[in-house]
């Protein structure tokens, strides 16, 4: 898939088929993440593919109302950025980790998978972070849902370039 086409046609999906996603396909996507730009080549991202036990721990931490959203997709990946203690480096590493997540989402889209980048409340709690083994020196970035789409999604309305770009002299 052409990069520009991929960027313009990738959509957030919240409904997935129950079909499994092959582990070799997940490995390909996570390998793509390693190529995200990162200052000083810190490779700050950490990806945790949640198996059934980890997913159940996260659902318990989330509580009954929020737990159902954690069953939407066959694959959940908790993503964090390792913090260095240096405020500037932490900011750069957080941005790099966000780029790595986007690389996974674009790679998934190019392979026919659907994705959903979430930041659920449970992963801003000590119980949720412990459930997916995110250490205190890491910062949660995303809970990526991946799977085969149930339907096609239409593009959302976007602001025009004239509303988000300024050419300064």
pLDDT, tens only, 90-147: 999 999 999 999 999 999 999 999 999 999 999 999 999 999 999 999 999 999 999 9
> Is 169 domain-assigned?
no
Q: Which domain holds residue 139?
A: 13-150
14 — alpha (psi -120 to 50), left (phi > 0) or beta?
A: alpha
> Is 20 domain-assigned?
yes
C-alpha distances (whole Å) from 38 to each of 26, 92, 102 are: 22, 7, 14
Residue 110, domain CATH: 3.40.109.10
Give the confidence band of 1 by pLDDT, cuts at 50, 70, 90.
confident
Residues with Cβ < 8 Å from 162, sequence gap 6 or more? none
pLDDT of residue 163: 93
- Asked if residue 75 lies in contact with residue 17, where contact means CB atoms within 8 angstroms, the answer is no
For the entire predicted model, the pTM comes to 0.94
Considering its fold, how many domains does the chain have in total? 1
Distance CA 63, CA 28 (A): 33
């Amino acid at each position: 898939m052409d990069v520009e086409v991929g960027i313009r046609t990738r959509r957030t999906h919240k409904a997935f088929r129950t079909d499994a996603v092959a582990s070799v396909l997940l490995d390909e996507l996570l390998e793509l993440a390693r190529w995200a730009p990162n200052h000083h080549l810190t490779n700050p991202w950490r990806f945790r593919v949640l198996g059934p036990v980890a997913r159940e721990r996260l659902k318990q931490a989330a509580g009954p109302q929020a737990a159902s959203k954690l069953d939407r997709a066959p694959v959940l990946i908790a993503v964090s950025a390792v913090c260095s203690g240096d405020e500037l480096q932490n900011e750069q590493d957080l941005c790099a980790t966000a780029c790595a997540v986007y690389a996974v989402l674009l790679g998934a889209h190019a392979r026919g998978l659907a994705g959903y980048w979430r930041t659920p409340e449970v992963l801003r709690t000590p119980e949720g972070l412990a459930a997916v083994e995110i250490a205190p020196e890491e910062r949660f970035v995303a809970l990526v849902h991946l799977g085969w789409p149930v339907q096609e999604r239409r593009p959302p309305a976007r602001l025009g370039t004239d509303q988000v770009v300024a050419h300064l002299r």
